[in-house]
Amino acid sequence: MCHDPDSRPPAPPVVADLDSTGPLELTAEDGNVLAAYEAIPFGEPRARVVLLPDVRGLHPYYRALAERFAEAGLQAVAIDYFGRTAGSAERAEDFPYREHVDQTTPEGIRDDVAAAVARLREQGASAVFTVGFCFGGRHSWLAAADQDGLAGAVGFYGRPAEPAERAGELKAPILALQAGADPNISAEDNAAFEQALESAGVEHELVSYEGAPHSFFDRKQEEFAAASDDAWSRVLTFLESHS
């Protein structure tokens, strides 16, 4: 698990009021119906983002995160991964997500992300980004290869090996925000990812927060509030500069 069950995202620099929030269902190209959650700010959004959760899928953390993005002036759609194996109904805290993670496929996640991208483009988006966390961080970077016309891909503490292997296929700028004390992602892993991006000519920025644990982007992690604040700043700057 990436976050504790009661973890919630830190607040962004608030620049907008919420216009609307709520659940929705999306239909992927293969007919899969997936749960999603959308948050829209008042006025024209500064940009639009697809949020890719960690292994828990559409956990309350990611519904709250969609609202935090909307408070920063961005339209956000957070998606679930488990429509094919668990349906689209809301789930209890004890949902056995691990057995469903094991049944996901790259093709299924690609199609589900595409459904969320299409939702945002139908509403007039000229620039759509992906922002993912852990499992979703890796798939956010991979979306830069798999989704046509993506404006950029942001990943928090994602495993970089597969995106590094596919660096030559990445068609959008990359922002990687890594945890310096992550026990499963080493400094060497991050360096290899950065070198692969450099060699492939992919515009990128990789930041590793010294001493920060995996899933530091959490308002409960008060000792890493500075890292969270910096991460918010970098994400918003990245979205603004590539919109």
Instruction: Indicate which CATH number applies to the domain containing 44.
Output: 3.40.50.1820
Q: Which one of the listed residues 134, 139, 146, 204 is annotated catalytic?
A: 134
Cα(15)–Cα(44) distance, rounded to whole angstroms?
A: 12
Tell me if 229 is assigned to some domain: yes
* Residue 139 domain boundaries: 18-242
pLDDT (mean) for 175-192: 97
Using left for φ > 0, alpha for ψ between -120 and 50, and beta otherwise, residue 10 falls in beta
Residue 4 domain-assigned? no
Q: Over the stretch 203-232, which tens digit does the pLDDT of each residue have?
A: 999 999 999 999 999 998 899 999 999 999
Helix or strand (DSSP H, E) at 20: strand 18-27
| Mean pLDDT, rounded, for 108-124 | 96
Strand order in the sheet with 204-209: 18-27, 33-41, 75-79, 48-52, 128-133, 152-156, 174-179, 204-209
- Is 7 domain-assigned? no
Choose, from 3, 182, 204, 218, the residue flagged as catalytic: 182
Residue 140 placed within a domain: yes
2 is catalytic: no
Catalytic choice (3, 100, 139, 214) = 214
pLDDT at 157 over 60: yes
* CA distances to 53, 119, 128, 159, 243 from 123, in Å: 22, 7, 11, 32, 16
Q: Is the pLDDT of residue 71 over 60?
A: yes
Question: For the residues 134-142, what does the mean pLDDT come to?
Answer: 98
Domains: count for the chain: 1
Q: How confident is the model at residue 3 (pLDDT cuts 50, 70, 90)?
A: low
Nearest Cα to 45, choosing from 136, 121, 132, 154?
121
Residue 1 has pLDDT above 60, yes or no: no
Rounded Cα–Cα distance for residues 185 and 89 (Å):
33
* pLDDT averaged over every residue in the chain: 95
Determine, yes or no, domain membership for 2: no
* Strands 75-79, 174-179: pairing kind: unpaired
What pLDDT, on the 0 to 100 scale, is given for residue 131?
98
* Of residues 14 and 1, more confidently modeled: 14
Active site residue 3: no
Specify the pLDDT at position 92.
87
Angle in degrees, 0-180, between the axes of helices 106-122 and 135-146, rounded to the nearest 10:
70
Asked whether residue 157 is domain-assigned, the answer is yes
Residue 226 has a CB neighbour count (10 Å cut-off) of 10
Across 81-97, average pLDDT: 93
Flag whether pLDDT at 16 surpasses 60.
yes
DSSP label at residue 211: T
Q: What's the mean pLDDT in 13-26?
A: 93
Residue 115 lies in a domain: yes
Please give the share of the chain, as a percent, with pLDDT higher than 70: 99
Local confidence band at 2 (pLDDT 50, 70, 90 cut-offs): confident
Identify whether 218 is a catalytic site residue.
no
Residue 111 lies in a domain: yes
